[in-house]
């Protein structure tokens, strides 16, 4: 499977929404093609380089496919789109086109079946509900009502203020249960740093 890549300073997770403002020609063309073909593009986290200008020198080799859910012209005249993360992938061989758009061969990572929440997940669920009340999170319109381990793990990993490297490690975990355990470990570490 070949996907155009959109390197960003963020890590997208399946089932999570991201608002983007598009102004570079390569990405306007890419979005136009995606909308005509009802296709998606890959969001990968920049490790070295910038979001604007030449293709970044370094980016994560794991990412998340994004599909366009909504679009509108912004007050500033630029194109605004809302995308939703769908499937995780690993980046294989890639090329930088003349317009600096990255095109990559990707392989989809396995997704485990969702499982119901267990007793030790209630604190994490309460944390997600608290996050959902923040205006910036509420504006993303992500449902926090029907929750299993996978949704809880993905939304917490996406919304909590972990650094990019931690988020990439979370994205690489196939098991929702293990991802939740890793999130709890990161939260414990953050709490330890706060009270050290």
Structure confidence at residue 146 (pLDDT): 65
CA 69 to chain CA centroid, Å, is 14
State residue 21's pLDDT score. 93
Architecture of domain 2-108 in this structure: Roll (2.30)
In this prediction, residue 50 carries a pLDDT of: 82
**Amino acid 66: pLDDT:** 98
What is the pTM assigned to this prediction?
0.93
Q: Which residues of the chain have pLDDT under 50?
A: none
Question: pLDDT value at position 74?
Answer: 85
CATH architecture of 119-194: Up-down Bundle (1.20)
**Residue 108 CB coordination number (10 Å):** 12
Which position has the token pair 């979001």?
Answer: 51
How is residue 52 annotated by DSSP?
Answer: S
Q: How many residues are recorded in the chain? A: 196
Q: Where in the chain is the domain with CATH 2.30.130.40?
A: 2-108
Kindly list the distances between the CA atom of residue 168 and the CA atoms of 64, 86, 192, in Å, as whole numbers in the listed order: 10, 16, 22
What is the location of CATH 1.20.58 in the chain? 119-194
What confidence score (pLDDT) does residue 196 get? 60
User: Cβ(117)–Cβ(180) under 8 Å?
Assistant: no
Q: What is the reported pLDDT for 39?
A: 92
């Amino acid at each position: 499977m070949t996907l155009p890549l959109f390197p960003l300073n963020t890590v997208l997770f399946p089932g999570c929404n991201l608002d983007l403002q598009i102004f570079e020609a390569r990405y306007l063309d890419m979005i136009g093609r995606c909308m005509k073909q009802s296709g998606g593009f890959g969001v990968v986290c920049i490790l070295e380089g910038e979001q604007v200008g030449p293709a970044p020198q370094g980016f994560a080799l794991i990412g998340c496919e994004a599909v366009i859910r909504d679009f509108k012209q912004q007050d500033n005249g630029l194109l605004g789109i809302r995308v939703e993360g769908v499937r995780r992938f690993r980046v294989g061989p890639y090329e930088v086109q003349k317009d600096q758009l990255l095109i990559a061969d990707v392989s989809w990572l396995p997704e485990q079946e969702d499982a119901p929440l267990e007793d030790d997940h209630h604190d994490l669920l309460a944390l997600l509900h608290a996050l959902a009340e923040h205006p910036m999170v509420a504006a993303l319109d992500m449902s926090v009502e029907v929750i299993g381990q996978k949704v809880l793990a993905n939304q917490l990993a996406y919304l909590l203020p972990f650094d990019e490297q931690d988020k990439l490690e979370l994205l690489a975990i196939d098991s929702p249960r293990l991802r939740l355990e890793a999130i709890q470990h990161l939260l414990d570490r953050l709490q330890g740093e706060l009270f050290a």
